[in-house]
Amino acid sequence: MLAVAQRVLCEQKRWLSRDQFVEILSLAQILPGPNVCNVALMIGDRFFGWRGAFAALAGMMAVPLVIVLVITALYSQYASNTAVAGALRGMGAVAAGLIIGTGFKLVGALRTNPMQTPVCAALLVAAFATVALLRWPLVWVILALGAGAFALAWQRLKPRIAAQGRS
Amino acid sequence: MISSSALFTLFGHFLLLSLLSIGGAITVAPDMHRVMVDQMSLLSDAQFNASIAIAQASPGPNVLFVAVMGYQAAGLAGVAATLFGIMLPSTTLALAAARWGHARREWRAVQAFKAGMAPIVIGLLFSTGWILSAQTPGWHHIIPTVVAALLVWRTRMHLLLLVGAGAFVGAMGWV
């Protein structure tokens, strides 16, 4: 969906430059909430204030919500049908793969991270092990790992900014 | 039928998850599974997986999978609880933070938060994929999962094509 948003907003409507789009997207990504919803809110807000923000969000969610609920209602009627159940199982298996594949794509973005690669790898593995294997509650994992990661990144950013200031 | 106190518990939990859903609502799916399937028994494993599959296959933002979970757990009241719960805190925060952070994006704290969270967010994506895959018994379903992961990673193949192929092999009874 973000690929479509970028094409329409930057190339067709020309409301935003590519730099502005990337800036909004990076903020949307560090904030909680669905990225594409946050992008819609922020762009609506920048042009038309809070009313624009909610118009953008509602416009993006309303029709898909109705469609997805209709599909769900139909699904619960046909859930006992083995072909339908099988199709859903197959789609579920693919959905798991889509998420894992997206994860692999994003690993490449860690190369420019100010924390060294072993530190990033350790944080990634720790998040996976505690949530996926140990099934710890997410809130504690994010608070504990996030605080540690913030401190590490804070430390690593200091010499780089100082070096930039000197040059 | 679900009690109204259970509905409020669900709403409250989704309000909390909303603030933790850095990288999208799908990153908190493992915790939704822990609460809705393991603790409250509102959904079966199959319904939980079907919720994500239906939302992935439908148009619109993927966050709508929480609406499908709410619908299967408690009808339209469930949709209101899960969807408003997951959206309300994050949208409020996004609006406030967009205005606040726009002028301060050079700050060290903002950059440290972004850099520090990046590997954790990616680890959570892998967790979600793992939990979705581990719920299904047997091993045949691992093949489409691995194939889909490789294709998403290495090619620009259309996502709907992959979901459609998954539906086909599933309907044929191969997974």
Q: Is residue B146 part of a domain?
A: no
Does the beta carbon of B15 lie under 8 angstroms from any beta carbon of chain A?
no
What is the b/e burial string over B67-103, where b = at least 16 CB atoms within 10 angstroms of the residue's CB?
Answer: bbbbbbbbeebbbebbbbbbbebbbebbbebbeebee
Q: Do B98 and A45 touch (CB under 8 A)?
A: yes
Per-residue model confidence (pLDDT) at position B116 = 85
- Give which of A22, A23, A30, A39 to mutate to test B binding, by max B Cβ within 10 Å: A30
Tell me the pLDDT of chain B (175 aa) as tens digits: 678 899 999 999 999 999 988 777 888 999 999 999 999 999 999 899 889 888 877 777 889 999 999 999 999 999 999 999 999 999 999 888 888 866 777 788 878 877 888 888 888 889 888 988 887 778 888 999 999 999 888 887 777 788 889 889 988 888 7
Per-residue pLDDT for A53 more than 80?
Answer: yes
Interface of B with A in 43-62 (CB under 8 A): 46, 49-62
Q: Could you tell me if A26 lies within 8 Å of chain B, comparing CB atoms?
A: yes
- pLDDT tens readout for residues A66-116: 989 998 888 878 877 888 888 888 888 888 888 888 888 778 778 878 888
Percent of chain A surpassing pLDDT 70: 84
Q: Is residue B95 part of a domain?
A: yes
Give B-chain residues touching A148 at CB under 8 angstroms: 116
Residues of A in contact with B121 (CB under 8 A): 106
Amino acid (1-letter code) at residue B44 = S
Q: What are phi and psi of B60, to 5 degrees?
A: 100, 175
SS (H, E, C) A125-157: HHHHHHHHHCCCCHHHHHHHHHHHHHHHHHHHH
Q: Which of A67, A102, A127 sits opposite B59 (nearest CB)?
A: A67
What's the pLDDT at A35?
Answer: 78
Q: How confident is the model at residue A159 (pLDDT cuts 50, 70, 90)?
A: low
**pLDDT at A4 (0 to 100):** 58
Does residue B25 contact residue A33 with C-beta atoms inside 8 Å?
yes
- Interface test mutation site (partner B, options A21, A138, A154, max chain B beta carbons within 10 A): A138
Within a domain: residue B39?
yes
* Residue A34 forms contact with B (CB below 8 Å): yes
| pLDDT beyond 70 at A139 | yes
pLDDT at residue A56, rounded to an integer: 92
Residue A28 C-alpha, separation from nearest chain B C-alpha, in angstroms: 7
In the block, tokens 């990153």 appear at B27
pLDDT recorded at residue A127: 93
CA angle A94, A71, A87 (to 5 degrees): 35
Residue B156 lies in a domain: no
Residue A19 — pLDDT band, cuts 50, 70, 90? Answer: low
Q: Which of A83, A128, A138 lies closest to B20 in CB terms?
A: A138
Q: Does A70 touch chain B (CB under 8 A)?
A: no
A-contacting residues of B 145-174, CB under 8 Å?
A: 145-153, 159, 162-163, 165-174
Residue A1 has pLDDT above 70, yes or no: no
User: Residue A3: pLDDT above 60?
Assistant: no
> What mean pLDDT do residues A23-38 have?
78
CB nearest A45 (choices: B46, B95, B134): B95
pTM score of the predicted model: 0.73
Structure confidence at residue A166 (pLDDT):
45
Residues 55..94 of B with a Cβ closer than 8 Å to A: which?
55-64, 67-68, 71-72, 79, 83, 86-87, 89-91, 93-94
Better-predicted residue by pLDDT, B106 or A155? A155
Please say whether the beta carbons of B61 and A36 come within 8 A: yes
Residue B22's Cβ-count burial label (10 Å; 0-12, 13-18, 19+) is buried
Q: Do B125 and A60 touch (CB under 8 A)?
A: no
pLDDT of residue B111: 80
Q: What total number of domains does chain B contain? A: 1
| Average pLDDT for chain A | 82
Asked if A10 is an interface residue toward chain B (Cβ–Cβ < 8 A), one would say no
Please tell me the predicted confidence (pLDDT) of residue A164: 52
DSSP, res B39: I
Would residue B132 count as lying in a domain? no
CA distance B97 to B135: 37
Q: Which domain holds residue B22?
A: 4-116
> How is residue A32 annotated by DSSP?
B
- Please report whether residue B152 resides in a domain: no
Does a structural domain hold residue B166?
A: no
Contacts of B28 in chain A (CB under 8 A): 138
Q: Residue B120 is nearest to which of A23, A85, A142, comparing CB atoms? A: A142
Which residues neighbour B72 within 8 Å (Cβ) at sequence distance 6 or greater? Answer: A72, A76, B43, B47, B50, B51, B78
Q: Would you say residue B28 lies in a domain? A: yes
The C-alpha atoms of residue A133 and residue A52 are separated, in whole angstroms, by 42
